């Protein structure tokens, strides 16, 4: 390639205009543009019609200076916005965050990554400030990683700073689940892929999912005898749901991370 470049430079000195290319013509076109061409040397050492459009990389008919005249520019995005609030109160909903595009991709540069992410959420109070956590049936669950984000104060004003209840953990054996769980591949819902029939899972009951009066989480199955089939639903995809049976209540969860969830 270096030898070819030196040869072309020598031609340019001997016969000005021979080395016409994208830079000299001032051409640089997105996508496939049949009108975006000049007469000059191609990268395959053929002199004639050469192109300055983005598609020339695929068709192999770029002008010799395309890479220099039309450098690839990747998409550049900004920081994620804060998470929005839940779209609704007292029922499973979604929260969203977005990030802006600071530079659009050009000339075959890397495309933009996802600009929006959605995750399941559930508010425990009405717009009037009334607690509605007791009404959630079946059990709504999400990944235990979400517990790091929520705070007792923000999610449920009924919990005071003096409350020190550490919560509890329910162990269940999954009986059935819909095929939609295994299809989830979005970053914030990928945890649903690890739900499997016949496995023991741990579900943590912590504030604010824990009712401030009964100190229980809705759908915890604590009153069942172990033979009763209970229902659960994943927050973030209402079609990912299934059944399980209570195994036992313990003070702390000890399941592997992929089988650890929280009531929400």
List the one residue out of 220, 187, 223, 196 whose CA is nearest residue 206.
Answer: 220
How confident is the model over 196-243, as pLDDT tens digits?
A: 899 999 999 988 788 777 888 888 888 777 788 888 999 888 889 999
On the 0-12 / 13-18 / 19+ scale of CB atoms within 10 A, 3 is exposed
pLDDT bracket for residue 152 (50, 70, 90): very low
What's the token pair of residue 187?
């970053």
> Strand, coil or helix: what is 218?
coil
For residue 233, give the H/E element and its range: strand 230-234
First to last CA, the chain: 61
Least confident residue range of 27-31, 68-72, 133-137, 208-212: 133-137
For 50-66, how does the pLDDT look when each residue is reduced to its tens digit (9 = 90+)?
999 988 888 888 898 88
Mean pLDDT (whole number) for 255-264: 91
Alpha-carbon distance 202 to 137, whole Å? 18
Looking at residue 147, its pLDDT comes to 66
| pLDDT bucket at 19, cuts 50 / 70 / 90 | low
Beta carbons within 8 Å of 192's beta carbon, 6+ residues apart: 181, 182, 184, 234, 236, 237, 240
Q: Bigger pLDDT: 151 or 84?
A: 84
Question: What is residue 7's predicted lDDT score, i.e. its pLDDT?
Answer: 55
Report the C-alpha gap between 223 and 97 in whole angstroms: 38
pLDDT of 151 above 50? no
Q: Are strands 230-234 and 139-143 parallel, antiparallel or unpaired?
A: parallel
DSSP SS3 for 94: strand
Average pLDDT, whole number, for the chain?
Answer: 80
Confidence of residue 17 (pLDDT cuts 50, 70, 90): very low
**Residue 129 confidence (pLDDT):** 66
Q: How many other C-beta atoms can be found within 10 angstroms of the C-beta atom of residue 194?
A: 17
158 phi/psi in degrees, rounded to 5:
-70, -20
Asked if omega into 138 is within 30° of 0 (cis), the reply is yes
Neighbours of 25 (CB within 10 A): 18
Please list the alpha-helical segments (H only) found in the chain. 2-14, 22-25, 56-59, 66-69, 152-155
Q: Residue 239's closest CA among 86, 120, 134?
A: 120
Confidence of residue 15 (pLDDT cuts 50, 70, 90): very low
CB neighbours of residue 212 within 10 Å: 18
Q: Look at the pTM and tell me if it is higher than 0.85.
A: no
> What are the residue boundaries of the structural domains of the chain, listed by start?
20-69, 135-156+166-263
Each residue of 90-140: pLDDT tens digit?
Answer: 666 778 899 999 999 888 788 999 999 887 776 766 667 666 555 556 888
Rounded mean pLDDT of 79-93? 79
Distance CA 189, CA 183 (A): 10
């Amino acid at each position: 390639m270096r030898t070819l470049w030196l040869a072309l430079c020598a031609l340019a000195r001997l016969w000005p205009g021979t080395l016409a290319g994208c830079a000299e013509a001032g051409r640089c076109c997105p996508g496939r543009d049949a009108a975006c061409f000049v007469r000059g040397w191609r990268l395959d050492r053929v002199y004639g019609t050469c192109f300055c459009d983005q598609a020339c990389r695929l068709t192999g008919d770029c002008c010799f200076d395309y890479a220099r005249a039309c450098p690839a520019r990747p998409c550049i995005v900004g920081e994620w916005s804060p998470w929005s609030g839940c779209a609704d109160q007292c029922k499973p909903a979604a929260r969203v965050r977005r990030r802006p595009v600071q530079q659009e991709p050009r000339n075959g540069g890397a495309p933009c990554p996802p600009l929006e992410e959605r995750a399941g959420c559930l508010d425990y109070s009405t717009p009037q400030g009334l607690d509605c956590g007791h009404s959630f049936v079946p059990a709504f669950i999400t990944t235990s990683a979400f517990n790091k984000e929520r705070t007792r104060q923000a999610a449920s004003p009924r919990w005071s700073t003096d409350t020190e209840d550490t919560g509890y953990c329910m162990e269940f054996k999954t009986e059935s689940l819909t095929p939609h769980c295994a299809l989830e591949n979005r970053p914030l819902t990928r945890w649903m892929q690890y739900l499997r029939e016949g496995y023991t899972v741990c579900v943590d009951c912590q504030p604010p999912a824990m009712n401030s009066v009964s100190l229980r989480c809705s759908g915890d199955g604590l009153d069942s005898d172990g033979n009763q089939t209970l229902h659960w639903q994943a927050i973030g995809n209402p079609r990912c749901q299934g059944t399980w049976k209570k195994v036992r209540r313990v003070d702390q969860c000890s399941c592997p991370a992929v089988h650890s969830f929280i009531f929400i």
